[in-house]
């Protein structure tokens, strides 16, 4: 699961948030002070962060062409609470920054806007394996990766397919 390099730029924050829950073991790093600190969260912000995490997971699954799991609040609804401000520097270059940079949802909105502009947002995907859904950045030339790790989730899927063919 963690053999890939982290996502670039602000997508690393989104990847870390989605991966704060290990689905197979149900270990949630947001339950620990260290896990919350890694994302700049206070304990009271955890419920909103969990809701945002699952909405982001659905988006990452969609990027990989997989159906969503469960029911979540639409990501667009959550991001509506995180306005961005257009900035222009002395050279006339425009950029975006969160109106409330101390809020996780605002930092996520900024990361998505920036990654959408450079085309990298669609490469942040979630593993196809239903017991994994780990977020990863797809660096493959064709952008067609399906699993977080070929040696773990990919191998399991291929073995299941092989067994299904051998034992109809």
At 116-167, the pLDDT tens digits run 999 999 999 999 888 888 999 999 887 777 757 655 665 665 666 656 677 7
At 15-73, the pLDDT tens digits run 999 999 999 899 999 999 999 999 999 999 999 999 999 999 999 999 999 887 778 89
Are 75 and 83 a contacting pair, CB within 8 Å? no
pLDDT at 139: 92
Q: What's the chain look like in SS3?
A: CCCCCCCCCCHHHHHHHHCCEECCCCEEHHHCHHHHHHCCCCHHHHHHHHHHHHHHHHHHHHHCCCCCCCCCCCHHHHHCCCCEEEEECCCCCEEEEECCCCCHHHHHHHHHHHHHHHCCHHHEEECCCCCCCCEEECCCCCCCCCCCCHHHHHHHHHHHHHHHHHCC
pLDDT at 66: 85
pLDDT at 166: 76
- Residue 106, pLDDT above cutoff 80: yes
Domain boundaries, the chain: 11-74+118-166
pLDDT at 27: 96
């Amino acid at each position: 699961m963690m053999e890939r390099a982290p996502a670039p730029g602000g997508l690393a924050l989104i990847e870390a948030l989605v991966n704060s829950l290990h689905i197979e073991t149900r270990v949630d790093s947001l339950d620990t002070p260290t896990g919350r600190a890694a994302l700049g969260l206070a304990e009271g912000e955890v419920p909103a962060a969990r809701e945002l995490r699952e909405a982001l997971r659905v988006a990452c699954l969609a990027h990989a062409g997989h159906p969503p799991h469960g029911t979540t609040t639409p990501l667009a609804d959550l991001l509506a609470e995180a306005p961005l401000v257009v900035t222009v520097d002395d050279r006339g270059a425009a950029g975006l920054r969160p109106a409330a940079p101390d809020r996780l949802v605002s930092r996520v909105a900024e990361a998505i806007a920036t990654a959408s502009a450079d085309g990298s947002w669609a490469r942040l995907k979630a593993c196809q394996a239903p017991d994994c859904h780990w977020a990863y950045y797809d660096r493959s030339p064709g952008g067609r990766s399906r699993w977080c790790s070929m040696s773990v989730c990919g191998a399991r899927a291929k073995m299941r397919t092989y067994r299904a063919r051998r034992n109809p």
